[in-house]
Amino acid sequence: MIKTLLVDDERLARAELSRLLQAHPQIDIVGQAANADEALALLSQLDVDLVFLDIQMPGLSGLELAAQLDADLQFIFCTAFDSYALDAFGLNALDYLLKPINPERLAKALARFQTKQNDEPQRNYLPENHGLLLKFAESSRIVRLSDITRFESIGNHSAVYTSFGKSFLHSSLSKIEQRLDPQQFFKASRADIIRVSAIEQLENGVAVGSMLAIMQDGQQVEVSRRQVQVLKQLFSAL
C-alpha cells in the first residue's frame, strides 16, 4: 500500500482527488490537510510515502511546503496553473498535474511513483569495521565506521564526529547515507545522520512536533517532525 496524504485548501478538490484515487487500490489515503501547517502536523504523526500538494494555499504555498519536506518523501503537485511547473520540478517533484485532474495523467503519475520505488538499487552497506582515512589537525588516521557517531551536512561536504574528534569528508550527506546501514544510523533531518546506539535520550525540540536527540557525548541533534515518528518506530522495533 502507498500511504498517501492530500494537501489542498479546497475541500471539494480534496474530495474529487480522493474519488479519483479510489480507482487505484494500492493507494491508502492516511490523511488530508487544508494548509501547510496541518500537513506538517500530520507528517509528524503519520508514516507517509506520497503527498499530493496544491500550490496556491493560505499561509505557506505548496512550493514553500515542498521545500521543507524530507528529501526521500515523494510529492506530486496538483494545481490549476501551469506557470509553476519549472519551480515544481526544480524542487524534484515526482509529477505536476493540472486541475481538473485527468484520470489517465493521474494513473501515469502513480505508475511513475511505483517504477521509481521498484528501481531503487539494492544498497551495499558498509560494514562496521570499514575504515575511513580522516584528517585531524596535521595528522591522518584510519577511523572505523563503528567509531563514528554523527555525519553533519556542511554545504557539499560533511562533518564527521568520531571518538577521536571532528573531521571532514568531501562527500554530500545523501551519498554517505546510501552506504550506511539504517539499522546502525538514523537520518534525523536533511542535515544530520546519527548513530542509533549513541542516542542517550530524547527531548522536545524547538519546532512544534520536533525532538532533540541528546547524544552520549553531549551533542544535541534536532530530529525533524517527520523523522520523529520514524525514530519512535525504530526504537519500538529494537
Cell of 49: 510515502
Residue 14 banded pLDDT, cuts 50, 70, 90 = very high
Q: Which residue has the higher pLDDT, 81 or 8?
A: 8
Q: Tell me, what's the pLDDT at 156?
A: 74
Provide the pairing of β-strand 27-33 with 2-7: parallel
Q: Is the pLDDT of residue 234 over 60?
A: yes
> Is the N-terminal amide bond of 100 cis, ω within 30° of 0?
yes
Residue 28 banded pLDDT, cuts 50, 70, 90 = very high
- DSSP codes, the chain: -EEEEEE-S-HHHHHHHHHHHTT-TTEEEEEEESSHHHHHHHHHHS--SEEEE-SS-SSS-HHHHHHHS-TT-EEEEEES-STTHHHHHHTT-SEEEESSPPHHHHHHHHHHHHHHHHTPPPP-PPPTT-EEEEEETTEEEEEEGGGEEEEEEETTEEEEEETTEEEEESS-HHHHHHTS-TTTEEE-SSSEEEEGGGEEEEEE-SSTT-EEEEETTS-EEEEPHHHHHHHHHHHHH-
Average pLDDT value for the chain: 87
HSE on the CB side for 150, CA within 13 Å? Answer: 25
Beta partners for residue 34, in sequence order: none
Mean pLDDT across the stretch 130-154?
Answer: 91
Note the pTM of the prediction, 2 decimals: 0.55
Q: Is the pLDDT of residue 238 over 50?
A: no
Are the C-beta atoms of 5 and 42 separated by less than 8 Å? yes
Mean pLDDT across the stretch 55-59?
Answer: 91
The CA-atom distances, in angstroms, between 40 and each of 13, 103, 123, 135 are 19, 27, 29, 39
Residue the block writes with cell 481538473:
100
Q: Is the pLDDT of residue 79 over 60?
A: yes
Domains and their CATH numbers in the chain: 2-118 (3.40.50.2300), 131-237 (2.40.50.1020)
Which residues, including other chains, have CB under 8 Å from residue 28's CB and lie 6 or more apart?
1, 2, 3, 4
**Nearest to residue 151, comparing CAs of 135, 130, 174?**
174
Cell of 96: 505536476
Report phi then psi at 134, rounded to 5: -120, 150
- How far is Cα 111 from Cα 107, in angstroms, rounded to an integer? 6
Q: Tell me, what's the pLDDT at 103?
A: 96
Q: Tell me, what's the pLDDT at 33?
A: 97
Mean pLDDT across the stretch 207-231?
Answer: 87
195 burial via Cβ count (<10 Å: 0-12, 13-18, 19+): buried
